[in-house]
Chain A
Amino acid sequence: MEDSTSPKQEKENQEKLGEARRSWEGKTAASPQYSEPESSEPLEAKQGPETGRQSRSSRPWSPQSRARTPLGGPAGPETSSPAPLSRREPSSTPSPPAPARQDLAAPPQSHRTTSAIPEAGTPYPDPLEQSSDKRESVPLHTSQSERNTFQQSQQPKPHPCGPRDVSYNNAKQKELRFDVFQEADSNSDCDLQLPAPGGSEGAPSMLETAIQNAKAYLLKTSSKSGFNLYDHLSNMLTKILNERPENAVDIFENISQDVKMAHFSKKFDALHNENEMLPTYEIAEKQKALFLQGHLEGVDQELEDEIAENALPNVMESAFYFEQAGVGLGTDETYRIFLALKQLTDTHPIQRCRFWGKILGLEMNYIVAEVEFREGEDEEEVEEEDVAEERDNGESEADEDEEDELPKSFYKAPQAIPKEESRTGANKYVYFVCNEPGRPWVKLPPVIPAQIVIARKIKKFFTGRLDAPVISYPPFPGNESNYLRAQIARISAGTHVSPLGFYQFGEEEGEEEEEVEGGQNSFEENPDFEGIQVIDLVESLSNWVHHVQHILSQGRCNWFNSIQKNEEEEEEGEEEDEEKEEPDYIEQEVGPPLLTPISEDLEIQNIPPWTTRLSSNLIPQYAIAVLQSNLWPGACAFSNGKKFENFYIGWGHKYSPDNYTPPVPPPVYQEYPSGPEITEMDDPSVEEEQAFRAAQEAVLLAAENEESEEDEDEEDDYD
């Protein structure tokens, strides 16, 4: 180090000389020289510059003398301070010997002496001097730092004057400053060297030795971590001087930790990608694709087409209104969802589409879009229900072939209620979900009544993966995509409302005979709707109506009479079961008809099912009416009199003030007719067995007697 520093030192010295003259009024270059000799123990090279600076101070002598004493201190810990140290290499390791500083803390002037004891930047001595030094050194520092390799100690630190406590930190800081000063002083090194011989040789050499010992101790590498204190302290001080945090002394330990940790941080590697950030980049790429989708070929023509048939709803407008109600996903996220919906409408033949809401899950969330396909464009799904029936028939036939017939179970699975046709009832709309805007949309399968019935009995969190199994009792027929679809159907049926009069029934009012099928289930927008006052919407619940059919407890919206079908099926070939365990007549379930006002909704244990609010009490004239459901927490509807919209965001569960209790398994079913073949019989007890044997023997005896009599008779005959 010394070698490298020497040329630098020379340069610096020259510069320092110049600066010294500039900065230190009245202090000639000679003064550094004076100070230098005094600080004859240039313990550390860095100290060189410091000392130089200090030498500039107006009181080179006194401080130096004082410095000497402290030097004695450091001299202790220091072992052999190499001569180079005394040279105060400006470019030497920045961290001035911190430990030495400690000692120096005592002697205030130690820093003054600079040359020998750069660290001496002791806190106490002549704070004024120090401050003056520092202030002056500031400009010098900067120039110095540029020149010097070890910036750390060079950084100007006007602060040191502040904390005057004896803390170690202070000592170090001051030492640093002084180092800087020294450098700024220029010539410090040279000067120090020159006067050195002139100064007292005896004492400096002791001091020098002490300083060198101290520095060597500091440079000792830790056996555990490979760091040494000298470097660490210089790094820390550099960091502090660079960043200038407030009240650095309070967070000093944290800074120390950070510096240690930074040693292990990954360096920027231009070749390898950072693994951790990959998902972020992926999703950003996908979302960028969303933004770019508009730039397709033939933009102009498509633009006209798009504007013409507007299947896409104005999501941003609805989001604005919902924001007034305090519900919403944030503007950016909503915009991305908007673009994702646009992508959906572009790729599928969709008549109408709506942003239904968001369902939260454990690992991922679902964004749900409610879609109505254009006429005739639905994709038919494979019929799976008939397969099950055929299988049953096959099994029964196989049983008959066996000679030794097993008892036949007369358990007949209850008739599976068929799902509703598309576009009717619970399957009126098709739902698409995606986990995040930018990911592909997945279509949910239509819902089966059995799924709704069981979904009513279970309460499970969604995980976020559509193929996850739903493990519950009663066992849910399907996986998470079916459960999700069932919950969406329930929520829609329970919470989709609109202002009274917005929708009206179709013009063909009807054939009364068809009421059995489920009542009016078609409605259309009322062109003459004039809007309702917002105040009215808030005050009275009868101004809102459900526009989605209620789902019966059967699981369908339109009643399905399973008895009729049973009669048909009997003819198909299950002749053996003549006993019907089902009642001959099932009562038709009736639900509230479409477009009933929500004031008719049932209360939940004295809690009204809906909460109405005005969105803002401060500016009522522009406020909107907000409805929040208490039955399905998270379902929200707004209306400003003319427009309305429904939204759901939540976990997807119904509210119940009581705790959930899973249903109890039913009693064991009596499957087989009890008869002697399958009834278990007790083993005979000992007495019974003996009696039986006795009886048997008696019979045998009687038989033998008869035989023997016959024989005797025969023998007699022979005679």
Chain B
Amino acid sequence: MDADSLLLSLELASGSGQGLSPDRRASLLTSLMLVKRDYRYDRVLFWGRILGLVADYYIAQGLSEDQLAPRKTLYSLNCTEWSLLPPATEEMVAQSSVVKGRFMGDPSYEYEHTELQKVNEGDKVFEEEIVVQIKEETRLVSVIDQIDKAVAIIPRGALFKTPFGPTHVNRTFEGLSLSEAKKLSSYFHFREPVELKNKTLLEKADLDPSLDFMDSLEHDIPKGSWSIQMERGNALVVLRSLLWPGLTFYHAPRTKHYGYIYVGTGEKNMDLPFML
């Protein structure tokens, strides 16, 4: 959610129950302003909160002019001092995929994972148990990256692509209409498109290249991993991800207000196929 409209956004996303306490809210309002100035971001998003056992991580992201460029992620333990996180690499993601369980809450905590590795010594080949240490910071980075790639969404029409390449916020976005808001196809993943090129030519003919340049939610696997609900009558549409429980996306149809926030333990729901 945009840091500029933080209070309204929190109010709209409160249907999921997890929000922020007043003192966190107040400190966020001020500190995000300072972050925007110091790092010279175009837009600062409050990404959400990852619950740890000892402490919670508050995550914010900064965007530059091009909305689809890689975002900078910052974390804080007290909503006042923010530290930049390194960008996620594939290696990091692979490394932290072996770690399971809750986050500790201490960025310097190290998870230990024993692995069997083959060691060649001369003619002999034997396996050795190696204990790999994985820092919680690495895990945090990879989880945020995974969540972003999997479930960060925006409504159709909110961004548009210019012929020169960069993606801009669409200032004439008036919000989705009610009938569009109930369909999954009106929401896109907020990331570089992956499946777009797999569409048939017929489908592509109907697309508007300036608006439909991202993957829509329709073809997400597993099917049904989004719960779409109207709250307050039809005045608010809320999408909740079932794959990463804790991610809530809200949008008030016919208005410009939309955003997403993640408040959860940072674990993927691998049992989803059993639960549907």
Residues of A within 8 A of B (CB): 245, 250-251, 253-255, 258, 276-277, 279-284, 323-330, 333, 358, 360-365, 436, 459-461, 605-608, 611, 615-619, 628, 630, 633-634, 649-651, 653, 655, 657, 659-660, 662
CB < 8 Å: which of B100, B171, B172 contacts A657? Answer: B100
Write the chain A residue with the least CB distance to B20. Answer: A326
Which 3 A-B pairs give the minimum distances between C-beta atoms?
A: A649-B17, A280-B233, A330-B14
Given A364-B229, A617-B78, A327 and B19 contact (CB-CB distance below 8 Å): yes
Residues of B within 8 A of A (CB): 11, 14-24, 51, 53-54, 78, 100-102, 160, 168, 170-172, 177-179, 210, 224, 227, 229-235, 240, 242, 245, 264-265, 270-271, 274-276
CB nearest neighbor in A for B10:
A330
Distance (Å) between the CB of B265 and the closest chain A CB?
6
| Contact between chains at B102 and A618 (CB < 8 Å) | no
Q: Which residues of A contact B232 (CB under 8 A)?
A: 280, 283
CA distance A28 to B6 in the complex (A): 58
CA distance A325 to B23 in the complex (A): 10
- A residues in contact with B168, CB < 8 Å: 250
Q: How far is the CB of A276 from chain B (nearest CB, A)?
A: 4
A-B contact count (CB 8 A): 120
B20 touches A659 (CB 8 A): no
Cβ–Cβ < 8 Å partners of B100 in chain A: 657
In the complex, what distance in Å separates the CA atom of A461 from the CA atom of B62? 34
Q: A279-B233, A360-B16, A607-B53 are in contact. Are A616 and B23 (CB under 8 A)?
A: yes
With A280-B232, A363-B227, A365-B229 given, is the CB distance from A330 to B274 under 8 Å? no
Determine the distance from Cα of A460 to Cα of B235 in the docked complex, in whole angstroms.
Answer: 28
- Could you list 7 further interchain pairs (A-B, Cβ under 8 angstroms) beyond the known A276-B179, A323-B21? A277-B234, A360-B16, A363-B229, A364-B229, A611-B51, A634-B17, A649-B17
Q: Is the CB of A333 within 8 A of B15?
A: yes
* In contact, B102 and A329 (Cβ under 8 angstroms): no
CB-CB nearest in chain A for B168: A250
Q: Answer whether A615 and B233 are a contact pair too, CB < 8 Å, given A245-B171, A333-B14, A459-B275.
A: no
Expressed in whole angstroms, the minimum distance between the Cβ of A660 and any Cβ of chain B is 4
Contact between A327 and B270 (Cβ–Cβ < 8 Å)? no
Contacts of A634 in B (CB 8 A): 17
Cβ contact within 8 Å between A327 and B17: yes
Report chain B residues within 8 Å CB of A633: 264-265
What are 17 A-B contacts with C-beta separation under 8 Å? A250-B168, A276-B177, A280-B235, A281-B233, A284-B233, A324-B22, A326-B20, A326-B24, A329-B17, A360-B16, A360-B240, A459-B274, A461-B275, A608-B53, A633-B264, A634-B17, A659-B270
Give bound CA distance, A707 to B81, whole Å. Answer: 118
CA distance A439 to B172 in the complex (A): 37
Residues of chain A with a CB closer than 8 A to B245's CB: 651
What CA separation (Å) do A659 and B101 show in the bound complex?
A: 11
**Is the CB–CB distance between B53 and A276 below 8 Å?**
no
Asked if residues A255 and B14 are in contact (CB atoms below 8 Å), the reply is no
B19 x A326 contact (CB < 8 A): yes
A361 to B264, CA, bound (A): 17
Are A618 and B233 in contact, CB atoms less than 8 angstroms apart? no
A660 x B274 contact (CB < 8 A): yes
- Contact among B24, B78, B178, B242 for A276, CB-based, below 8 A: B178
Does the CB pair A659–B271 fall under 8 Å? yes
What chain B residues lie within 8 Å of A253 (beta carbons)?
210
Contact assessment for A362 and B227 in the assembled complex, using a CB-CB cutoff below 8 Å:
yes
Closest to B208 in A: A257
Residue numbers in B under 8 Å from A616 (CB-CB)? 21, 23
In the assembly, what is the distance between CA of A459 and CA of B271, in Å?
A: 8
Measured in the bound complex, the distance between the Cα atoms of B271 and A662 in whole Å is 10
- CB-defined contacts of B274 to chain A, threshold 8 Å: 459-460, 660, 662
B265: chain A residues within 8 A (beta carbon)? 633, 655
Q: Would B18 and A327 count as touching, CB distance under 8 A?
A: yes
Query: What residues of A have a CB within 8 angstroms of the CB of B101 in the complex?
Result: 605-607, 657
In whole angstroms, what is the CA distance A305 to B245 when docked? 45
Smallest Cβ-Cβ distance to B270: which chain A residue: A659
Chain A residue numbers with a CB within 8 Å of B21 are: 323-326, 615-616
Contacts of B20 in A (CB 8 A): 326
B53 close to A611 (CB less than 8 A):
yes
Cβ-defined contact, A280 with B234, below 8 A: yes
Q: How far is the CB of A474 from chain B (nearest CB, A)?
A: 13
Given A279-B230, A282-B233, A461-B275, A330 and B18 contact (CB-CB distance below 8 Å):
no
Question: What CA separation (Å) do A459 and B168 show in the bound complex?
Answer: 42
The chain A residue with its CB closest to the CB of B172 is A254
A329 touches B233 (CB 8 A): no
A608 contacts which chain B residues (CB < 8 A)?
A: 53
Contacts of B275 in A (CB 8 A): 459-461, 653, 660
Residues of A within 8 A of B19 (CB): 323, 326-328, 330
Q: Is the CB of A630 within 8 A of B53?
A: yes
CB of A254, distance to nearest CB on chain B (Å): 4
Whether the Cβ atoms of A618 and B23 lie closer than 8 Å is yes
Check A649–B18 contact: CB distance below 8 A.
yes
Residues of A within 8 A of B53 (CB): 607-608, 611, 630
Q: By the criterion CB–CB under 8 Å, are B11 and A330 in contact?
A: yes
- Bound-state CA distance A329–B235 (Å) is 16
Residues of A close to B171: CB separation below 8 A: 245, 251, 254
Nearest CB in chain A: distance from B257 CB, A: 15
Q: Report A-chain residues with C-beta under 8 Å of the C-beta of B78.
A: 617
Residues of A within 8 A of B276 (CB): 460-461
Given A328-B14, A616-B23, are A276 and B271 also a contact pair (CB < 8 Å)?
no
Nearest to B23 among chain A residues (CB) is A616
Query: Which residues of chain B are within 8 angstroms of A364 by Cβ–Cβ distance?
Result: 229
A282 to B234, CA, bound (A): 10
Chain A residues, CB < 8 A from B17? 327-329, 358, 360, 634, 649-650
A280 to B229, CA, bound (A): 13
Q: Determine how close the nearest CB of chain B comes to the CB of A149; give it in whole angstroms.
A: 27
Q: Which of B23, B171, B229, B233 has the most CB of A within 10 A?
A: B233
Instruction: For the complex, give the distance between the alpha carbons of A619 and B21 in Å.
Output: 13
B111 to chain A minimum Cβ distance, whole angstroms, is 12
CB distance from A340 to the nearest CB of B (A): 14
Per the bound structure, the CA–CA distance linking A653 and B101 in Å amounts to 16
Residues in B neighbouring A277, C-beta threshold 8 A: 178, 234
Query: How far, in angstroms, from A245 to B173 measured CA to CA in the complex?
Result: 13
Contacts of A245 in B (CB 8 A): 171-172
Bound complex: CA A649 to CA B264 (Å):
12
Minimum CB–CB distance for A255 against chain B, Å: 7
Chain A residues with CB under 8 Å of B18's CB are 326-327, 649
Q: B234 touching A276 by the CB < 8 A rule?
A: yes
**Smallest CB separation, B219 vs chain A (Å):** 19
Inter-chain CA distance A606–B234, complex, in Å, is 44
Query: Chain A residue with minimal CB distance to B160?
Result: A254
Closest residue of chain B to A255, judged by CB?
A: B172
Q: Which residues of B contact A284 (CB under 8 A)?
A: 233
